[in-house]
Structure 1
């Protein structure tokens, strides 16, 4: 397992029990609450314990500091690049946890003030209720660094209206709190200064009754009005361009739209798209498109394969080059291999989608009575 630096005096996840309410706080504020091996293990531990506890009725999830969670710990992945499967355990546990967050039996509320990206956002979108603010920033930027849209997002994004899912996955475009509610990726918008008061109100309910919880949130929430320049007002252009068959065709179509009057918003988005890993873009587009026809479980199993094959550099080392350029050397000048989408061999991309042997797949419990089975420690990998 790749090593992570954690201050032993500061638990990376805090769990509080207050009568019938349980509060989880992601507690690595200086690291923007990035998701490490320890974070995943503790989240799973708390959620399983409280789902089985008749006294626990309402689960609140929040982040300490100015971020909810910036997603996976990229440095952890980078540090493990020369050791075979150094991050396999945390990857397995994260996808397994994602399934249980989507299918959780108790009422959950995410209180999201600040950044919620990638794996961090995957803790928010599946929640029965999710509260965002004017400080909330959402994005799934994984393709840009040679990775793929993961943690269940090939399922979640593929079910958005039109081609918004492809757009968000390929461009890593950011959405604000109002846009998240309008897109159906969050349920309520509450001004950030009211969040502490809302949290106290929810704790005072002493119940997980979904209607009572929803009513309490609505006392604080505002109706959402999209800004005129919102990306969500560009749906017709997004649908036109991002419905094309290939990444190359999408870029070509987007370029054509950029030249038209009133489409100045496209240029910076297009620039980012062209700077992204060609292999990451191709893999991501295929994964999102497959996600439309797959169940949640099928998407998570597929994403587990993709993640492991990408980290193993099965067809490219782009993910490590992308992390290096973004967070290690910070030169923002990655050298992709291959350097263009035209040079990314489709047959090679097929390789990262190939199913593993059954015992090496992510083990998702299909039957209700075995709901918390399939843990990493009982998998073929633990042996």
Structure 2
């Protein structure tokens, strides 16, 4: 499979590639470890999967990561909602990521601190940062966070699509009116360890609760602007208006239903009131019925994605935006088909008049500032 081509071969594309020669590029979220775990042939076997070849069936592999000019990648140890052994599942995914780093040591440098991004770029490598997606992995034990940190985890997304024992999800019924007292203790421990708090997937009330108690900047590793697309996974304006005061970063995501209102509306018949697929639904059959009634699914586009970046930059400032693809082997927007296409974002924003200084902040400067602040607040 050939690598994805830029949507328009023009001066902006050339300028984007030149810029990324000296500016590091960070992607805040990618679910490749879960894709590898679910692969029918590899079944979690890193050697069998072979990240060194192009995987036409999905979106992430080493050749296309290099083509995308990545210098830092946050890979997630995703824990499914209602997983019966969340800590064990998280540990298995951490072990998988550690094997990826070891097996491909010529490509990946372990990412443990902000400075590892510049070091990786200087070496011609990619800093691989491990995260946990779904704080259910704490499994009721604050000390689990210390163990995860010791294994190299540097960011945790507080929940996923389901509310759990201490955090309300944006896509599930609330149980805690935001964050429970234990949840607030989790934030305190993460702050002391120097682990980045990630509010993607979190209910708005819980976002506010975190912003009330955190002593360090936070991120939304893969979320867009609710005002442009009303999916509950996106960030509402009243929360956005607190981001600059916290020093945090919203990393806009490529998920079509979080970018395009048309795509979001098309999918509504197959989603519950919280914007997720109901348990037990035959999703393929439901989508086929939507196609029969409403026609093909509307495509999200690179231009619509950059509309979110424009909105975020205008609302919260250029110091508080980043990129968090959330590639997971699923639907993708036109122009953002796989990890080789990150330069397309830079090129489109150049066409819109973004300065190279602001693009450098978007590409990595803002996330690196957050990471350093989190590191300095630890202790």
User: Shared fold by TM > 0.5?
Assistant: no
Q: TM-score, normalised by structure 1?
A: 0.28
Q: TM-score, normalised by structure 2?
A: 0.29
Higher relative contact order (Cα pairs below 8 Å, separated by 6+ residues):
2
